[in-house]
């Protein structure tokens, strides 16, 4: 059953979208929030559990100090106030992925509150008000068995509690207004900003596709000129930045159609479908759930000292957009070049390559050319390729000192990725150096000329541009290892000098 949708611009002419973004970030602490179990991703199911994270009676939680430090640093990076005192609370509900029957979370006293993120999207400036950033624990993971792989139509479900108790930070915005037709892009830009900032803080690997960064996107429509918020929907299951934009665009068009037809938007959670870029109805949220929150009696109050918070403030990295603006100037990239680099997640790699001595345009050329092609072909991220920024800087160094040329450089890259050693060792072992010996080059040039009389005649008659074809032949004969400039020179002097 497909929903009625209206044209995006038509909806925007009559309604103002209001956004609310909830982002969950899984912290990359070594151990869980309240016990010493490992948080390593991908272990055998139920091998990283203990009485505390399984919620066995009588077990007692102990707070993870690193997680609290990470929460404060995230809050500071988002310009939040840090609570002088706050506590954990029990959020009571039953679900098989949570054996305690309550989630240890924060309720009316979040550790970070009232923040602000400044964002530039498509040349416009937006201030995103942050309501709170609070600490909580993750639940286990259900694996629904059956043809659908989802709970609907499953034969039975298996439970993996390795994730139960992994520390999470939930960052919630206030209702975001005034984004107009850029609403979907602003949402995407904001989550991208959080991802980059949190990655720079080094407290999470923020991988949307692995679930270490998750976004629930709320949106409602408000008639233009009104100040009363409309009814919102909350879309879940969004696992890429692109999908945030698509899910919100769809929801705006869908809610617009309902309102144009005189209907009422139902407050509910919705699920995003990657394949169709649509959302479908999930759970109704018309009545607020009563979770019977109460302060967690087994944990003490958290009261970060002023001195600690001030010290943590000195560890906050520069905001991503300021850093990008500086790098753009330093590297001399165009807007488009920088945008492509950002989209390919190559900023850090290029920065490291430049730091290792490579000129910025060359660093960009390798990472955005050869290496990006290779990563895409293998469905990998650039940084997952088994080649380092130092390797690329070394390879470019060999090109710049004329030991190898670009063509050989590509072979060296392949060999490094195949694990055959460092660039210098590979070039030495394989004898892949550029041939600059005039006698050797001349011999090949002569034989290529002899085999290509027609082209040679053209060059003799002054058609120098025909030399390209002969250079190609020489290169081919020498396995790409000739110095192209020298070959060109030799061909032209041989054929045109009296």
Q: Which residues bind Mg ion (CB under 5 A)?
A: 22
What is the rounded distance in angstroms from the CA atom of residue 478 to the CA atom of residue 49? Answer: 61
Check: CB of residue 233 under 8 Å from CB of residue 265.
yes
Total residues binding Zn ion (CB under 5 A): 5
Q: Could you say which of 232, 246, 364, 458 contacts ligand ADP (CB under 6 A)?
A: 232
Q: How far is the CB of 378 from Mg ion (least distance, A)?
A: 36
- Select 22 or 337, whichever has its Cβ closest to Mg ion: 22
Report the alpha-carbon angle 131-184-206, nearest 5: 60
Sheet of strand 89-92, all strands in order from the earlier edge strand to the far edge: 102-105, 89-92, 294-295
CA nearest 96: which of 152, 134, 54, 51?
54
Residue of minimal Cβ distance to ligand ADP: 20
CA nearest 16: which of 264, 167, 226, 244?
226
Q: What is the separation of C-alpha 252 from the centre of its chain, rounded to a whole number of angstroms?
A: 25
Q: Which helix (H) or strand (E) holds 245?
A: helix 241-260
Using CB distances below 5 to 8 A depending on partner kind, what does residue 35 bind out of ligand ADP, Mg ion, Zn ion, none? Answer: Zn ion
Where does this chain touch ligand ADP (CB under 6 A) — which range of 13-21, 44-52, 148-156, 454-462?
13-21
229 binds ligand ADP (CB under 6 A): yes
Sheet of strand 233-238, all strands in order from the earlier edge strand to the far edge: 81-82, 112-121, 124-137, 167-173, 15-26, 213-223, 233-238, 268-273, 278-284
Where does this chain touch Zn ion (CB under 5 A) — which range of 36-44, 139-147, 172-180, 244-252?
36-44
Q: Hey, what are 469's tokens?
A: 């074809």
Q: Hey, what are 83's tokens?
A: 């609570």
418 binds ligand ADP (CB under 6 A): no
- Tokens 């993750």 belong to 138
- Select 231 or 390, whichever has its Cβ closest to ligand ADP: 231
192 binds ligand ADP (CB under 6 A): no
Q: Hey, what are 196's tokens?
A: 């980059």
SS3 state at 86: strand
Q: How far is the CB of 415 from ligand ADP (least distance, A)?
A: 50
- Select 33 or 363, whichever has its Cβ closest to Zn ion: 33
Check: CB of residue 130 under 8 Å from CB of residue 172.
yes
- Select 52 or 448, whichever has its Cβ closest to Zn ion: 52
| Beta pairing partners, 362 | none
Q: How many CB atoms lie within 10 A of CB 420?
A: 14
Pattern of binders to ligand ADP over 138-177, x per CB under 6 A? Answer: ----------------------------------xxxx--
The backbone torsions φ and ψ at residue 324, rounded to the nearest 5 degrees and listed phi first, read -65, -40
Q: How far is the CB of 379 from ligand ADP (least distance, A)?
A: 33
Q: How far is the CB of 231 from ligand ADP (least distance, A)?
A: 7
Using CB distances below 5 to 8 A depending on partner kind, what does residue 68 bind out of ligand ADP, Zn ion, Mg ion, none? Answer: none
Using CB distances below 5 to 8 A depending on partner kind, what does residue 18 bind out of Zn ion, Mg ion, ligand ADP, none? Answer: ligand ADP
Where does this chain touch ligand ADP (CB under 6 A) — which range of 226-234, 306-314, 336-344, 351-359?
226-234
Q: Could you say which of 27, 37, 201, 387 contacts Zn ion (CB under 5 A)?
A: 37
Interactions with ligand ADP, residue window 15-74 (CB under 6 A):
18, 20-22
Residues contributing to the site for Zn ion (CB under 5 A) = 35, 37, 50, 52-53
Residues contributing to the site for ligand ADP (CB under 6 A) = 18, 20-22, 131, 172-175, 218-220, 229-230, 232, 234
């Amino acid at each position: 059953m497909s929903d009625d949708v209206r044209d995006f611009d038509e909806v925007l002419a009559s309604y103002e979208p209001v956004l609310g973004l909830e982002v969950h970030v899984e912290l990359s602490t070594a151990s869980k929030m309240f016990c010493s179990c490992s948080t390593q991703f991908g272990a055998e199911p139920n091998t990283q559990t203990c009485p505390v994270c399984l919620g066995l009676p009588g077990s007692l939680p102990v707070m993870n100090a690193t997680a609290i430090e990470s929460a404060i640093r995230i809050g500071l990076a988002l310009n939040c106030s840090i609570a002088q005192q706050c506590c954990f609370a029990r959020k009571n509900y039953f679900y098989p992925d949570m054996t305690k029957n309550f989630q240890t979370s924060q309720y009316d006293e979040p550790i970070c509150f009232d923040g602000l993120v400044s964002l530039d999207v498509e040349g416009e400036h937006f201030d995103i008000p942050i309501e709170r950033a609070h600490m909580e624990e993750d639940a286990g993971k259900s694996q629904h068995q059956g043809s659908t792989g989802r709970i609907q139509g499953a034969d039975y479900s298996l439970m993996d509690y390795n994730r139960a108790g992994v520390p999470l930070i939930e960052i919630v915005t206030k209702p975001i207004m005034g984004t107009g037709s850029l609403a979907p892009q602003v949402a995407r830009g904001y989550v991208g900003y959080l991802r980059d900032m949190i990655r720079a803080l080094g407290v999470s690997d923020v991988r949307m596709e692995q679930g270490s960064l998750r976004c629930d996107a709320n949106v409602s429509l408000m008639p233009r000129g009104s100040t009363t918020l409309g009814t919102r929907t909350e879309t879940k299951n969004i696992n890429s930045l692109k999908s945030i934009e698509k899910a919100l665009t769809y929801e705006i068009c869908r809610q617009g159609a309902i309102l144009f037809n005189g209907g009422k938007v139902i407050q509910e959670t919705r699920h995003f479908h990657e394949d169709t870029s649509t959302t479908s109805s999930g759970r109704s949220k018309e009545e607020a759930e009563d979770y019977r929150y109460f302060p967690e009696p087994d944990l003490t109050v958290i009261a970060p000292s002023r001195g600690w918070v001030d010290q943590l403030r000195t560890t906050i990295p520069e905001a991503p957009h300021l850093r990008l603006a500086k790098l753009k100037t330093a590297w001399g990239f165009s807007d488009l070049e920088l945008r492509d680099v950002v989209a390919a997640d190559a900023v850090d790699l290029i920065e490291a390559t430049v730091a290792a001595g490579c000129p910025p345009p060359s660093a960009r050329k390798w990472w955005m050319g050869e290496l990006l092609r290779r990563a895409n072909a293998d469905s990998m991220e650039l940084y997952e390729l088994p080649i380092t920024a130092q390797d690329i800087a070394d390879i470019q160094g060999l090109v710049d000192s004329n030991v190898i040329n670009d063509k050989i450089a590509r072979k060296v890259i392949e060999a490094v990725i195949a694990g055959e050693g460092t660039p210098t060792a590979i070039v030495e072992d394989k004898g892949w150096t550029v041939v600059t010996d005039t006698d050797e080059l001349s011999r090949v040039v002569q034989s290529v000329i002899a085999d290509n009389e027609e082209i040679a005649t053209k060059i003799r008659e002054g058609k120098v541009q025909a030399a390209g074809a002969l250079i190609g032949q020489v290169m081919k004969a020498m396995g790409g290892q000739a110095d192209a400039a020298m070959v060109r020179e030799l061909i032209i002097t041989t054929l045109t000098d009296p």
